[in-house]
A and B are shown apart, each in its own frame.
Chain A
Amino acid sequence: MREIRALIVDDSSVMRKIVERSLRQAGLESLIVLEAGSGVEGLELLKAKQVDLILSDINMPAMDGLEFLRQLRSQQLATGVPVVMITTESSEEHVSQAIEAGAMGYIRKPFTADQVKQKVVSLLPAL
């Protein structure tokens, strides 16, 4: 199995750990996790590091997940890297805003490890 580098962006350190645990339960054993506590931090990190997958919260202070996505695209960072939004905001409007901004997947909190697995496997089929 190839090594996967995942960036988890969430202002909650507890949620970052839970997402990481879910990824490991999804079978991503060769997983390297990078963490960012905000969209701003995530952008800075992506200027220096390459990743295979990004999972981001939406509702964050300073820069929310949608703006993070827009900045990612406008600054041409992590081009081609699938982004999954993990959030309590799950209305159709929020989902379409995320898709428009470039998200390739959407997981609603609360979530199970299985839901994370299905989403990640669909986006990283080479696993």
Chain B
Amino acid sequence: MTLTLRDSVHLVSDPGNLNSSVSEVFETMLGVGCEPIQSSASEFLIGGFESVTAVVGFGGILSGACVIACKELSARQIAGRMTGMDFDSVDDIVKDAIGEICNMIAGAWKCKVPELAANCGLSVPAVITGRDYNLHVQSPEFKIFQVYKSDEAIFQVTIVCDGLL
């Protein structure tokens, strides 16, 4: 029998899984809570600002990516909380920290669905810095987008799936 995720799309695309994954990572690794917030306000969006984006790819039964993006200040705050250090700029340690946060969120998220945990691999994180860039995926199977707040840091997480067995 061919393994398929088609029958569990409702589970895989459940935003609650992403919320609990993000919360688990922040509470465990940063010792701080993290809540989803209304994402409609443009002040929370990163467009036009210097920002940090980390991407971890999914491969196997599901292909796509987990993307975390935030303004530079939030990236420094998250990295500071994670490492106990202060950062004046987005250096390699900050990029590394955001990449690892993305990696752990992607891992925790895929573990919420057993078929996905066992049959979906993760890429190593890639980190992009700059401003005015967009993520384009043509005809995704589904996309989950949520903005979160943890302490003063605000960041957005996107799970985009462009292929599903």
Residues of chain A whose beta carbon lies under 8 Å from any beta carbon of chain B: 11-15, 17-18, 21, 59-61, 87-93, 108-112
Beta-carbon contact of A93 and B100 below 8 Å: no
Q: A88-B107, A110-B108, A112-B28 are in contact. Are A12 and B99 (CB under 8 A)?
A: yes
Q: Would B25 and A110 count as touching, CB distance under 8 A?
A: yes
By a CB distance below 8 angstroms, the chain B residues around A87 are 107
Q: Which of A14, A59, A110, A112 contacts B83 (CB 8 A)?
A: A14
Number of interface residues of B (CB under 8 A): 27
Contact assessment for B83 and A17 in the assembled complex, using a CB-CB cutoff below 8 Å = yes
B9 within 8 A of A: no
Report the Cα distance A13→B99, complex, angstroms. 11
**What is the distance, in angstroms, from A69's C-beta to the closest C-beta of chain B?**
18
A88 touches B124 (CB 8 A): no
Chain B interface main SS type? helix
- Count of chain A to chain B residue pairs whose CB atoms are closer than 8 Å in the complex: 60
With A90-B117, A109-B104, A109-B107 known to touch, is A59 a contact of B99 (CB < 8 Å)? no
Secondary structure dominating the interface of A? loop
Contact (Cβ within 8 A) B111 A14: no
Contact B103 A88 (CB under 8 A): yes
Contact with A along B104-120 (1 / 0, CB 8 A): 10111001000001110
What chain B residues lie within 8 Å of A108 (beta carbons)? 107, 111
Residue of B nearest to A16 (CB): B96
B28 touches A111 (CB 8 A): yes
A68 nearest CB across to chain B (Å): 15
Closest CB of chain A to B35's CB: distance in Å?
17
Q: Which residue on A lies nearest to B93, using beta carbons?
A: A14
Report 22 cross-chain contacts, Cβ distance below 8 Å, ordered by A residue. Answer: A11-B124, A12-B100, A13-B92, A13-B93, A14-B82, A14-B83, A14-B100, A17-B83, A18-B29, A59-B124, A88-B103, A88-B108, A88-B122, A91-B117, A91-B119, A92-B118, A108-B107, A108-B111, A109-B29, A109-B107, A110-B108, A111-B28
